[in-house]
Amino acid sequence: MNIKILLFGRLTELLGQNVLHLEDMADTDSLSRFLSVQYPGLAQINYQIAVNQEIIHGNRLLTDGMTVALMPPFSGG
């Protein structure tokens, strides 16, 4: 199982990369928990999550090949 994680804005700095690949993440809550342990600064940043280009609210089950985007507050315009 492979989950692709896209990072944006200040999260690219905090995690030091634009893309991560993780194995064995059952759902988006586990993914957030896992990353908060790896990158303690993450707990201070609000971010929305999109799964396969759809913004989700609440937890979402993950399956092989899914793409998860972690998006801090938008600042376009």
Helix (H) / strand (E) element for 50: namely: strand 48-51
| Residue 50 interacts with another protein (CB under 8 A): yes or no | yes
Query: Stretches 3-11, 24-32, 35-43, 57-65: which one binds another protein (CB under 8 A)?
Result: 3-11
Interface with another protein (CB under 8 A), residue total 15
For 7, residues 6+ apart whose C-beta sits below 8 A from its C-beta are: 15, 17, 18, 19, 20, 69, 70
Rounded to the nearest whole angstrom, what is the least distance from the CB of residue 62 to another protein in the complex? 17
| Residue 75 interacts with another protein (CB under 8 A): yes or no | yes
At 46, which amino acid appears?
N
